[in-house]
Amino acid sequence: MSATTFTPDTLQRLASAGLDPERLPRHVAIIMDGNGRWAQLRGLPRIEGHSRGVKSVRATIEECCRLGIEQLTLYCLSTENWKRPQDELDFLMALLHQYLLAERDEIMEENIRFTTIGRREGLPAQVLAEIDENVRLSTKNTGMTLCLAINYSGRTEMVDAVRMLAEKVNAGKLIPEDIDETTISDALYTEGMPDPDLLIRTAGEMRVSNFLLWQISYSEIWVTPKCWPDFDPATLQEALREFAQRERRFGGLNP
C-alpha cells in the first residue's frame, strides 16, 4: 500500500505505533480462540468468555480502521462448532444477533463494508435477516471491509466450489481444461477478496482449524498465547510490527 492512500490521522496513528504504512498487510484474518478457556481460568461460565470476546471484536475492528487495514476477516463460528452444548449454541446465536444490531450504527459511521462467508443453512432466521440488512446498508461504503466467517469451514467451502464448477461443466458452460487457480478462487465464498497477508491466532494453538485453507497458502502466521478476550489494540500492533519484519518470497528467492 502507498502512504498516499492514508489520511494524515492514519499516518500519525501508524507512526505512534511504530508501523510503516508501506509494510502493512492489506488483509488480516483472525482465528479468535480461547473465549471458553479465558472464562474457565477465572471460574466463570464459558458464555462469559464469549461476552467478553465481543469487546475485543469491537476494539480490533476500530483499530484496524484507524490503521488503514483494507480488510479484516474474523472466524466467528465454524461448522464444527455445532457440536457444542445446545445452551452454549443458543447463547452464541443470541449474542451474534445482538452484535449485528448493536454495531450497525458503528459500521455506517466508520464507512465499513460488511459481508460474511459461510453456509446460511442452520443459522436462525433472525440472524440471517440482520446479516442481510447490514450487508444491504453498507454495500456502498468505501472503507475497510469487515468479513465475518459464520458457519464456515474451509473444506466445506471447497466442496461447494467443486460442486459449482461441476454444474458448470455439466451444463456445458465450462470445460475442464479451462479450470485454473483463478477459476477456483472465483468459485470460493471469498470471490473478489484479496487473500489474507497475515493470519493471527490467539490462545497459543498452532493450527489453522479449517480456516481459509485455499486463501492462506502464502499468509504469514502469527500466534499469541493471549486468549481472545485479552486481545487488544497493542497486541494487534505487535502482530503488525512482526509482519513488517517478515520476508515474503512466495516460493522464490529475494535478490
Q: What is the pLDDT of residues 161-206, one digit of tens each?
A: 999 999 999 999 999 999 999 999 999 999 999 999 999 999 999 9
Residue 125 burial by Cβ neighbours in a 10 Å radius (0-12, 13-18, 19+)? exposed
Report which of residues 2 and 214 the model is more confident about.
214
Report, in this order, helix, strand and coil percent for the chain, each rounded to 5. 50, 15, 35
* CATH number for the domain formed by residue range(s) 25-152+193-241: 3.40.1180.10
Among the listed residues 9, 20, 35, 81, the single catalytic one is 81
| Catalytic residue, candidates 33, 134, 151, 197 | 33
Catalytic residue at 170?
no
Which of 189, 211, 188 minimizes the C-alpha distance to 200? 211
Q: What is the pLDDT of residue 50?
A: 96
Whole-model pTM: value is: 0.94
Is 132 catalytic? The answer is no
Between the CA of residue 152 and those of 8, 19, 48, 191, 251, what are the distances in Å? 37, 32, 23, 15, 28
When pLDDT is cut at 50, 70 and 90, the band that residue 252 belongs to is low
pLDDT, tens digit, 9 for 90 and up, residues 141-152? 999 999 999 999
Q: What are the pLDDT digits (tens) for 5-54?
A: 799 999 999 999 999 999 999 999 999 999 999 999 999 999 999 999 99
Q: Under a CB-based contact definition with an 8 Å cutoff, are residues 88 and 47 in contact?
A: yes
Average pLDDT, the chain: 95
